[in-house]
Amino acid sequence: MAMQVPRPDMLKAADWRVALGFVNEVASALHDDHGYVRSGRQGLQRLVASELITLSICHLVSGRRTVHGDAAGSIGPAERECFDRHFREHPLVQVHGEQRHEHVHRISDSISPQQFRRTPLYADYYRRIGIDCVLAMPVYQSEGWLVSWVLNRRGHDFSDRETALLDQVRTPLARFFRHTDWMARLAPSLTDTPQPPKLSADVPLTPREYEVLRWVAAGKTDRDIAAIVGASVRTVHKHLQHIYAKLGVETRTAAVMRALA
């Protein structure tokens, strides 16, 4: 099934102004992890009204998550244990964690509200916290981790316009997340990686293509590169296709040799 991608063409000029103001506000508050969470949660609440907004950090290997920015007492230990029990069947974990869909996604984009209310996940977790509509915005996706802003509310689902508006602030929020201390804790093997070798300045590549090829020259896999530059694996693949075409080669090794020559 093809993933639904939010449509920015349904946004009005006022929506773009609000989105830009929100991005600038978060950028000015990036003093530490708490500043990112506080400004992100407050700004997202103004963009799209929700009962509960959290930054969710999921460990895909163990099936555990931590939440940040939730209202006091909204999600207690018992509720978190219920969530962990149904972690791998969660539609948003499957879409963003397993399938690596990089856009904002609602649970209702995967299954109907009627189907969702019949799931053990809803019965054991969402019914307990009084939520029936959920939307997630991924800001970091890797082999072992999924980090998302999650918006929750009850009674009426998130509209297509709200989804499109949130998708427009997704990329800057993901870039800002890369500058928090969480990156060092989640992916030390990537953040501690020595700088890749310099390539010839004569290669006809864009700055992002040049960056991707430098990491290829350092021996990184496509998944490693995606995590390092803050992109999806599919986007890295596209960059490599463009690099091969521009350099007149067909393999990673040939592209590196051409750029080092």
Task: Quote the number of domains for the chain.
Answer: 2
Phi, psi angles (nearest 5°) of residue 252: -60, -45
- Between CA 162 and CA 49 the distance in angstroms is 10
The pLDDT score that the predictor gives to residue 194 is 59
The pLDDT score that the predictor gives to residue 109 is 96
Pair 110, 143 in one domain:
yes
Pair 76, 205 in one domain:
no
- Between CA 204 and CA 202 the distance in angstroms is 6
- Residue 32's contacts (CB-CB under 8 Å, 6 or more residues apart) are 180, 181
Pair 47, 92 in one domain:
yes
* Positions of the chain with pLDDT under 50: 72, 189-192
- Between CA 56 and CA 139 the distance in angstroms is 10
Pair 172, 205 in one domain:
no
Pair 155, 64 in one domain:
yes
Closest CA to 227 of 135, 146, 136: 146
Q: What is the pLDDT of residues 199-242, one digit of tens each?
A: 777 788 888 888 888 888 888 888 778 777 767 788 889 999 99
- Residue 95's contacts (CB-CB under 8 Å, 6 or more residues apart) are 3, 101, 105, 109, 110
Phi, psi angles (nearest 5°) of residue 102: -100, 0
Whichever domain contains 157, its CATH number is 3.30.450.40
If one counts every other C-beta atom within 10 angstroms of the C-beta of residue 231, the result is: 20
- Nearest 5°: the CA angle 116, 122, 123 is 125
Computed over every residue of the chain, the mean pLDDT equals 87
Distance of CA 57 to the CA centre of its chain: 10
Pair 121, 12 in one domain:
yes
* pTM of the model as a whole: 0.71
- Between CA 40 and CA 8 the distance in angstroms is 21
Share of the chain above pLDDT 70, in %: 91
Range of the domain at 92: 8-186
The pLDDT score that the predictor gives to residue 107 is 97
